[in-house]
Amino acid sequence: MSLYKKSRYENIVFIVLILICFIFIGGRFFVTINCIKHFIYYIAYPNLSAADNILKFSGNFANNIESLISLHQDNISYKQKNQELIDKLRNYELITHEYESLLKLFKLDKVDNTKSVYARIVVREPSLWYQSFIIDKGSDDGLYNELPVAVFNKTKNALYAMGTIVETYKNSSKVALITNSESILPVEIKNKGINCLVEGFDSCLVKVTYIPLNVDVKPGDELVVSNLSSIFNYGIPVGVIRGIVQEPYMDFQTATAEVFFDMVSSNIAIVLVPSEQKQ
Amino acid sequence: MRKLILYFLIYIFFCLIQFFFSQYLNSFRIFPNFILVCVVCIGFIKGSFNAQLVGFLFGLTWDIFSTDVFATRALLFTILGYLSGKLNRKFDIINTFFQCVIVFLANIVYDLGLYLINCIIIQDFKDTLTFKNISNIFTTTIVTPFVFYVLRRVLKGI
């Protein structure tokens, strides 16, 4: 008993459906189709096995999605940083504007920052190891005698006092180190406000002289350039006290200090050149 | 339109029985294959065209809810729907014994087909045809007359 009329297209539809099925079965060998299938399964029955299958079959597809997500996250954080920087810039502009207004109001000269000239240490004689060296920048680069020379310490992210230019040539300059026996630098014991002098004696240690007898100075105290220095700016680190010598018949006590700059690893010196106006 | 709605309701009804109620009504994970009976029945009552389309949809749905090779069931149900439609002019579908024999054979074809396709496509496929498969075939055969009766009554009017 038949309840239906035979369709003309049943064979064609059958072939089409079979082809679709084979395409789907072949899709097993395509990562994306497999991944989508397991993803749908995971939505229907969320379980660890399905999640594992998604990750297993996804391969590069998942990596791409992960990259997209991380890029998106990076983008968000960069936008936040950008916003913070914009805010800082706005504050800076406001402060600058206020500063200029105050300068006009009090009829003061504008203080300019120091210009840094990076120079390579090209000559360092072993016999003059703690006395001087030659840098590859000279008068052509705007250098002149008695300019302060410092060195940048990457690990501590700080600038350390190193020496002073004593001879200037067209393309080179000679720098006398603070460890040089002819060098004297006014310093201050950090956080104690005690002024004293650092005198070199051609070694890695320096002598700290004119420390008053009644002050408490201990090994480990840091030395920074004092306000009395006409060459260096105030506060540049110089060294650290290693030992104290107290002699009863002297009015002052003396200490030995180790300088911060490392002669062995220092290859680049920074010459701190004041701006034209300041000169 | 009425025909479409009716087919849609049949689809929903059998999907619910097979995928939802099977979780609660099975005994030792043995549960009749209602979808197979439905496809074969539609093939006999409405012919190849309808049966293969219904079989394809049922198969695809089942494939989505399983971790086996995708579209295997869609392929098998489409073939079974087509073949049952082709056979309908040669046999009397009112005969209960004949219904059971046809569904029994269709079930064997289905299980073997599923097993073979998995063996060919999945390299480390380790499952074998077990007592569960045989039990499923027999339970499916037992429920066949009821499903045929209901579907004949439902599809009679369209």
Q: Which two tokens stand for residue A59?
A: 């391969």
Q: Does domain A112-279 bear CATH number 2.40.10.340?
A: yes
- Is the predicted pLDDT of residue A279 greater than 50, yes or no? no
Q: Which two tokens stand for residue B137?
A: 């075939």
CATH number for the domain including B132?
1.10.1760
Give the start-to-end residue ranges of the domains of chain A: 10-58, 112-279
Handedness of CA B132, B137, B142, B148 (dihedral sign): positive
Give me the torsion for CA of A262, A263, A264, A266, rounded to 10°.
Answer: 80
Rounded to whole angstroms, the maximal C-alpha distance in chain A is: 134
Residue A5 touches partner B, C-beta closer than 8 Å = yes
- Is the predicted pLDDT of residue A277 greater than 60, yes or no? no
- In which band, very low, low, confident or very high, does the pLDDT at B137 lie, cut at 50, 70 and 90? confident
pLDDT digits (tens, 9 = 90+) for A77-122: 999 999 999 999 999 999 988 888 888 888 776 655 678 889 999 8
- For residues A46 and A261, the model is more confident at A261
Residues with Cβ within 8 Å of A164's Cβ and at least 6 positions away in sequence, in order, are: A146, A147, A148, A149, A175, A176, A178, A183, A231
Q: B75 and A13: CB-CB below 8 Å? A: no
Give the number of C-alpha atoms closer than 13 A to the C-alpha of residue A141, restricted to the C-beta side.
Answer: 22
Structure ipTM over 0.85, yes or no: no
Q: Which residue of A has its CA nearest to B90?
A: A1
Q: Which residue of B has its CA nearest to A40?
A: B64
Q: A7 and B47: CB-CB below 8 Å? A: yes
Q: What pTM was computed for the model?
A: 0.47
d(CA A133, CA A130) in angstroms, rounded, equals: 9
Contact A61, A35 (CB under 8 A): yes
Q: B52 and A7: CB-CB below 8 Å? A: no
Q: Nearest C-alpha of chain B: how many angstroms from A56?
A: 13
Range of the domain at B13: 2-155
Q: A3 and B50: CB-CB below 8 Å? A: no
Q: Give the DSSP per-residue string, B75-131.
A: HHHHHHHHHHHHHTTTS-TT-HHHHHHHHHHHHHHHHHHHHHHHHHH-TT------H
- Is the predicted pLDDT of residue A255 greater than 80, yes or no? yes
pLDDT digits (tens, 9 = 90+) for A157-196: 788 999 999 999 988 999 999 998 888 899 999 888 888 9
Q: B75 and A18: CB-CB below 8 Å? A: yes
Q: So what's the pLDDT on residue A1?
A: 46
Q: Which of A186, A170, A182 is nearest to A232 (CA)?
A: A186
Closest by Cβ to B64, choosing from A7, A23, A40 = A40
Q: Which two tokens stand for residue B41?
A: 């029945």
Q: Taking residues B91-103, what's their average pLDDT?
A: 82
CB interface of A with B, residues 53-92, below 8 Å: 53
Closest by Cβ to A25, choosing from B52, B69, B85 = B69
| Chain B residues closer than 8 Å to A22 by CB | 71, 75
Q: B70 and A28: CB-CB below 8 Å? A: yes
| Chain B residues closer than 8 Å to A49 by CB | 67
Least confident of A18-27, A131-140, B36-45: A18-27
